[in-house]
Amino acid sequence: MLKVEHIGIAVKDFTTSIPLFETLLNTNCYKQEAVESEKVITAFLQQGESKIELLQSTDAEGVIAKFIEKKGEGIHHIAFETEDIYAEMERLKNAGFTLLNEKPKQGADNKLVCFLHPKNTNGVLVELCMERK
């Protein structure tokens, strides 16, 4: 693992949350991107070498809508950048972690991503990511 690439935060409404985080971090949101497979729109703010990824559901049945319904708005996942996501997935699988997808999938921000089941990570949803080349 190279670093914390970003922290994902589930929010109800970009129209209030983006300005809130822009003021908080004193920087502008530089990108919004839909991830249709996840029924979510993402908004990114850079902070040093890490990012904040705001997640807003596009569908009442989407994972983010369900998360907010259950737990309220807040931290949804922590994403770690990997040099080689395939090798890291193999290593973690062999170490007993449960991968939520068997192959890396297309995430936002030009990334390949894989999530780990929070049951093996003290309740933290962990995302592995790697820049697509």
The answer to whether 62 touches 76, Cβ cutoff 8 Å, is: no
Size of the residue set binding Zn ion (CB under 5 A): 4
The yes or no reply on residue 104 touching Zn ion (CB under 5 A) is no
Which parts of the chain fold into alpha helices (H)? Answer: 14-25, 63-71, 85-94
Angle CA 107–109–115, to nearest 5: 30
Distance of closest approach, residue 79 Cβ to Zn ion, in angstroms:
4
* Per-residue binder mask for Zn ion (CB under 5 A), 57-96, x = binder: ----------------------x-----------------
Q: According to the binding rule CB under 5 A, does residue 43 interact with Zn ion?
A: no
Among 8, 29, 56, 57, binds Zn ion (CB under 5 A): 8
Longest dimension (CA), the chain: 43
CB of 77 to Zn ion, least distance (A): 6
| Interface of this chain with Zn ion, residues 111 to 130, rule: CB under 5 A | 127
Q: Assess 9 for contact with Zn ion (CB under 5 A).
A: no
For residue 129, the number of C-alpha atoms closer than 13 Å in the C-beta half-sphere is: 23
**What residues form DSSP beta bridges with 77?**
8
Positions in the binding site for Zn ion (CB under 5 A): 8, 53, 79, 127
